[in-house]
Structure 1
Amino acid sequence: MKNNSTLFSEYMNEWLYGKDGYYTKYKNIGKKGDFYTAVSTSKFFGGTIAKHIISLVDEGFLHKNSVICEIGAHHGYFLADVIEFIFTLRPKLLNTLKFVIIERFDDLQEQQRNYFQSSFGDVVSLTHYKSLDELKCENAFFIANEIFDAFSCELFYKGKTARVDGHEIEFDVDNEWVKQKAQKYNKSRGEIALGYEEFALSMAKSCKKFEFMSFDYGEMQARPDFSLRVYENHNVIPFFQEDIKREELFKKSDITYDVTFEHVKDAYEEAGVEFIELKAQMVALIDMGILNLLEILKDNADEKIYEQELQKAKMLIMPNFLGERFKMIKFRKIF
């Protein structure tokens, strides 16, 4: 490694999580923010997860006093939407379920506490942990939205790993671990995520019996090329675009890449957790009952409100918006 240079993973980690990094402070998401998410699109995203949680309780997989845990909750909208729909569909469960957010940054914890206080007052109790390593429970449902694309990664190209020197990328580092992962997932170039194995193991150790569901963009098999990109005010900037000004974007914009779900799957299976399925978000939400929830709304709300919510929910399941590109991956651990 040359002087004053760093591996790309360290550069990306500093960009997102270092002092004043992009994810260390609250950011607007949606029309006024840098990007859209399923959570910012429609409350029925969280509502569908709430319906699924209730079905797990009815099936006996989840106990009535289980932990419902979101990882990387940002403002807390997602978990709050889940709670709101549980209150609507099965209010008694709010008296027994325990709600947890895993959030390492104090500033975001405060934002989440304030939002929950303004939304629920003292009706709902929220517990924070800095990491999964702090959580110990018997039975839980874990949920995450767009988390695996936020792990730092190495960049690999023709047998070499990237380093960064003055925001410039050079592929001249020999890294055997990265090379082995690249060979395993048939990547001659692209991103190799770091931390999936440790994350899966931490979750496996935190709880005896759980279901984990996560939504992210990517495919089961690795892309044959780089997908690394920067989001700024709803503009997508390929990381290797010739005129990109990385020094101006550094820490001020989101940086992300497509998830190789096979890597996520392998990490969880190595931790002793069973892979259940990978589905397009569209299929997953329909299977879990989003259309049934919309029918309930139609029967109980003003037609104008129903049409507004219907249009928002459509964006979650339309193939040309979030429905096809985003995937749901599910795992289970049973003792």
Structure 2
Amino acid sequence: MTFSNYMTQWLYGEQGYYATYRAIGKEGDFYTAVSASKFFGGTIAKHIISLVDEGFLANDATICEIGAHHGYFIADVIEFLYTLRPELLKSFSFVIVERFDALQEQQRNYLNTSFGDAISLSHVKSLSELHVENAFFIANEIFDAFPCELFFKGKTARVEEDGNVEFDVDDEWVSAKAAKYHKDRGEIAVGYEEFASEMASAAKTFEFMSFDYGEMMARPDFSLRVYDKHKVYPFFDEELNRKEAFGSTDITYDVTFEHVKDAYEEAGVTFIELKAQMTALVNMGILELLEMLQKNADEKIYKQELEKVKMLIMPDFLGERFKMIRFRKER
């Protein structure tokens, strides 16, 4: 079995990690920016409003989250849109791309409980089902969840029935990608090109913003790892029992953003920028949102939210390791 098929089953098979709802944050296996603070989604809402004011997004644009998990992220965006520019809730259309029916139902229930008929919400299972004029696409930690192939000194990995990994396959596509990104070992993501092409066809004009961990250039070694109750196990660590971890833990790797960039540019979409999450959120106005809260809320609430926001922007937590990448397709 190819490693990408093995990883796909681990994450998305019938008993895969993402096939059912998983707790994120303190009670789960890892933290995300969404679980850290509502102001993450709030800052995206502020940016969306700036795109409307700029004239890039229409008042009737589609706001689409890809891989919404429980629905907290898009709910935070909607909540702050209501606070900052409430009329947009009625004119925007909100869409979630979610492949699993059970998660769609959970998202629908959560958003219906939160907003009722104040918003127009729909689901699609893939971007290929979506065809709109003007959109803003958002995703958090999606590119690290694409399956990957493992490459080592000219050979691609296969996985044996017992979970053992052997590097003995010749794969021209993987070898070409490894050469392009100057890797003699590491992960080669599978599916970026198709994903970028589907998004390019889903909307005539759009902006896409995503947050993930990694660097523009490929790292020189394997980053594949497993998260289990906030403990991190390198995939090749002898302490990791792969059979027990399969499907019950999260498996992930560092994103090579140059690969993401190339995939989108090949699809005719313009790369805008790659920034540290800290810089991106500050530039989009997260501190201004905190100032608004300070003026309108109890000091205790303000201090609580300030501490949560620090998790998003401090370099020693999520602020520096996580990156924001942004693209645009214009007419």
Deviates more, 1:74-83 or 1:115-124: 115-124
Query: Are residue 45 (structure 1) and residue 40 (structure 2) matched?
Result: yes
Match of residue 326 from structure 1: 322
1:181 to 177, 181, 189: 177
Match of residue 235 from structure 1: 231
Encode CA deviations 1:211-248: one digit per residue, 9 max, x unaligned.
00000000000000000000000000100002210000
Alpha-carbon distance between aligned partners in 2 of 1:125 and 1:311, rounded to the nearest angstrom: 33
Find the residue that maps to 1:321 and give its secondary structure: coil
Checking the alignment, whether the CA contact within 8 Å between 2:90 and 2:120 is kept in structure 1 is no
Alpha-carbon distance between aligned partners in 1 of 2:148 and 2:218, rounded to the nearest angstrom: 14
1:226 to 200, 208, 222: 222
C-alpha deviation, 1:164, in angstroms: 0.5
Q: Percent identity?
A: 74
Task: State the one-letter code of the partner of 1:206.
Answer: A
1:154 to 149, 152, 161: 149
Task: State the one-letter code of the partner of 2:224.
Answer: L
List runs of 5+ in structure 2 lacking aligned partners: none
Runs of 4+ in structure 1 over 3 Å off: none
Task: State the one-letter code of the partner of 2:283.
Answer: D
2:138 to 136, 143, 152: 143
List runs of 5+ in structure 1 lacking aligned partners: 1-5
Match of residue 250 from structure 1: 246
Q: What is the number of residues matched between the two proteins?
A: 330
Alpha-carbon distance between aligned partners in 2 of 1:93 and 1:213, rounded to the nearest angstrom: 20
Match of residue 2 from structure 2: 7
Find the residue that maps to 1:217 and give its secondary structure: strand
C-alpha deviation, 1:263, in angstroms: 0.1
Query: Are residue 117 (structure 1) and residue 112 (structure 2) matched?
Result: yes
Query: Are residue 74 (structure 1) and residue 69 (structure 2) matched?
Result: yes
C-alpha deviation, 1:118, in angstroms: 1.1
| 1:97-136 to 2 correspondences below 5 Å | 97-136=92-131
Find the residue that maps to 2:178 and give its secondary structure: helix
C-alpha deviation, 1:125, in angstroms: 2.1
Alpha-carbon distance between aligned partners in 1 of 2:239 and 2:133, rounded to the nearest angstrom: 52
Q: CA RMSD in A?
A: 0.5
**Normalising by structure 2, what TM-score?**
0.99
Encode CA deviations 1:120-170: one digit per residue, 9 max, x unaligned.
122122100000000000000000000000000000001000000111110
Task: State the one-letter code of the partner of 2:103.
Answer: L
Find the residue that maps to 2:317 and give its secondary structure: helix
Alpha-carbon distance between aligned partners in 2 of 1:52 and 1:43, rounded to the nearest angstrom: 15
Query: Are residue 88 (structure 1) and residue 90 (structure 2) matched?
Result: no
Match of residue 304 from structure 1: 300
Query: Are residue 164 (structure 1) and residue 156 (structure 2) matched?
Result: no
Find the residue that maps to 2:223 and give its secondary structure: coil
Task: State the one-letter code of the partner of 2:7.
Answer: M
Alpha-carbon distance between aligned partners in 2 of 1:156 and 1:57, rounded to the nearest angstrom: 44
Alpha-carbon distance between aligned partners in 1 of 2:202 and 2:120, rounded to the nearest angstrom: 20
Query: Are residue 270 (structure 1) and residue 243 (structure 2) matched?
Result: no
Match of residue 193 from structure 2: 197
Alpha-carbon distance between aligned partners in 2 of 1:51 and 1:18, rounded to the nearest angstrom: 36
Encode CA deviations 1:258-293: one digit per residue, 9 max, x unaligned.
000000000000000000000000000000000000
